[in-house]
Structure 1
């Protein structure tokens, strides 16, 4: 396994120390869409476990704190959600078929049920006991799904698969207890959202990659109204994470941008190189992936806007998404 420690980051690590999340479990799971596999990196051991097979065109990974759920879009086969034990490496428990042509995109878990977006079907699928039990029609081309405050939030990009153009995107809120569905129009190409410590939603709009640039819109989840925003001129970020009082976004151009919370003010940036895809936060820092279908793929640890560690994942594997699993003794899995 090739490994690079950047000098500037090394000085940062020496000064602040690398936090250990606890003795129970600390794993970083990486979705590899070209290899159709899940890789596992163990930071405390500095080792990579053997990858395990995924489904057809894996796209996203989420958890309920007990299992890992892999969303497979199914371009090279059948769409599905695969259920894994969070072991090292992950152990397959079950495979849940999804509707053909639905292009499952992402998901979230709430109260024992799974909620999965269908990018090509404009639906939110509801899964229980390893089967689809219902679906809800939402906006066009839904992508990110977030469970928060007893409700499900679905970010709909507005992308038209027929004309290959972006219409108005929207945020949908679904209440599982009542079946009520609300929505908020947002702008061009919203893709994902995250929640901050004050319980506000940060919705990432990527823009159209050409004339409309990215932004994050701050939304009150109770009233479904916009509160503030921060723009990223010249950038089209496609991933978002929140760590403490900071928001972070990154896109294919490889510029990691930070903004303050609650000021919603653009702060600093870090150039990481083209091809960045995955972004996730946990107390030790940010984990990011660089995707390639031909060259080396990378997993990065960023602390204080410096690259603290870089782990080579293999050539052409397509490191798409990343999910940290942090389990502390006496507390179990911790979600960040």
Structure 2
């Protein structure tokens, strides 16, 4: 079979399945089921709490250590692209999240609406945004810089927006200011401080941050769901509620894909920059969202908040994989 031809038969089906299903989501769903069926209690729960806190601290330290500050500032010179990415992530998306709060509780449960609002305040992804930009023949360097800046800004902006918007629309979130400072901001700042000495080594050993990312997400997912199960927070979540949540997430994603693509054209961006804006401006970070939720919210609320983040993550991967291939075919 020629190398440029897609696989057929059973191999083709497997390849398509892998393209639509993120292995990380499969692992998360597995630990979610474990948290429902075998929740942590007593001493085991106390140990997991310590492990979760340590994992989050290490995760955000590595975020700071692997981001080259000089490269981020250099990327700001393309101000139209970077400014439009930040506007999509931290202005347009939150507006959509606030509009979802207007839905009746019969359409979407209040705690799920809270999760959708939190989702809208998260930074963009890095890995999938860059990968899909590359597949679609877009500006990869611009995507790397934009997604990186989004994540750096999100360390500060997301907690601030949560405090500003969510306490007004959803009541107290149960988060701790000291937790935000020493579990998120301080480790990131320390990582940035030592970045000139260890940053290159961290970037060369990408498997270290990848394992840390996934391990932290899985620990946070299990402990959050486990604590919610013990407290009875899942008693009112139904299959219908989950389906409605998927519909809401799909509509938000469709709106953002449309706005970022057409908006890039209105701004006069070249096609590669429009692709980068499309891929970075329409995504939200699961890797940042779940660990940060465990710091910002009470355990029961953090578990409910996790559902929209996971649902949107899977939808954005499946949809953008199709969009990226379509854009690539247009170029070819």
Please, what TM-score do these two structures have when normalized by structure 2? Answer: 0.25
> More strand by proportion, 1 or 2?
1
Please say which structure displays the higher CA radius of gyration: 2
> More helix by proportion, 1 or 2?
2
Q: Flag the structure with more relative contact order, 1 or 2, with Cα contacts below 8 A and sequence separation at least 6.
A: 2
